[in-house]
Structure 1
């Protein structure tokens, strides 16, 4: 998925969530910037995330992010790679050690633009996060990467409390609950 295909997918993206709909024009505008996939674009850039769930859709894999000190989905910077689906899969593998990862479909699962606070020499900036739904086996051992303090399979019934009722994660949780057809 290069930037041309990504522009088509984002342009055709449909969601019942108003806050997510409102972000689509900003994502499309960012795609016109040649630095959109580089962290050198200090005001904001693309990232990709993996919303990892088990096959039965009862648990999600979350990481306690070392810098942000929050439980989040796995993911990271594009670092020049326009194929955000590939970025999400690579980040999921690198941050979890899982080998059973399977992309549920080629389409975008969720979009979120969020602020990243200043850290060290990095200024405050936006992440334009493109998220993909990925399945994995829960019985596989997890490997914690240097970017994480912990990894855990979290039951859907406990996710909201663990993530502090963070809106975009609750939105992905709701989307997953609605996606019974994917079982």
Structure 2
């Protein structure tokens, strides 16, 4: 299944996802460069919500730009296999090699605002991340490695304590939504 069909088939769990899905699909129609950062307004990103086997902890990074504990993820940069992007980014940002999908379906669709910032010495204007996220699993026993150009920490956080670590209210809502879906689906 191609990435656009995957987004079209995704069943939103609430009004936020319904509206974000409609806007994401509209952006896909409007822009031919939506999979790349060449689109300075909005572009597709893919994230991994990394859980342990017991489903009671999530692997997060302390993101340098946002100065917050967050899920892993990154830009599609032209790649059409968004699940592969989520897994690659999770591996690169945590050092964990053995990461696999809990399910191949999208777990969350969100439009995430990115404020203007400096990256690698250049200013990046405010824009939107059209986020496609997946639920993936990793082994808590694997070694963790900080990717110093992107994060300053990597650690397993108890799912019940995510709000204690995450200082971004909009991301707290995203994480709560995913945890709620995991419970509803008995994942």
TM-score (normalised: structure 2): 0.90
Residue 154 of structure 1: how far off its partner (Å): 0.5
The number of residue pairs the alignment matches comes to: 178
Residue 106 of structure 1: how far off its partner (Å): 1.5
Q: Distance in 2 between matches of 1:21 and 1:90?
A: 27
Q: SS in structure 2 opposite 1:169?
A: helix
List runs of 5+ in structure 1 lacking aligned partners: none
Alignment of 1:5-24 (within 5 A): 5-24=2-21
Q: Distance in 2 between matches of 1:178 and 1:152?
A: 26
Q: 1:140 aligns with which of 142, 157, 161?
A: 142
Matched with 2:93 is 95
Q: SS in structure 1 opposite 2:80?
A: coil
Deviates more, 1:84-93 or 1:10-19: 10-19
Q: Distance in 1 between matches of 2:8 and 2:79?
A: 20
Where in structure 1 do 4 or more consecutive aligned residues deviate above 3 Å?
none
Deviates more, 1:60-69 or 1:97-106: 97-106
1:155 aligns with 2:152: no
Matched with 1:168 is 174
Q: Distance in 2 between matches of 1:42 and 1:108?
A: 24
CA contact (8 A) 2:79 2:85 kept: yes
Q: 1:45 aligns with which of 30, 43, 46?
A: 43
Q: Distance in 2 between matches of 1:63 and 1:176?
A: 21
Q: Distance in 2 between matches of 1:116 and 1:80?
A: 19
What do you get for the CA RMSD once the two structures are aligned? 1.3
Q: Distance in 1 between matches of 2:79 and 2:159?
A: 32
CA contact (8 A) 2:12 2:18 kept: yes
Q: Distance in 2 between matches of 1:176 and 1:53?
A: 10
Residue 176 of structure 1: how far off its partner (Å): 2.2
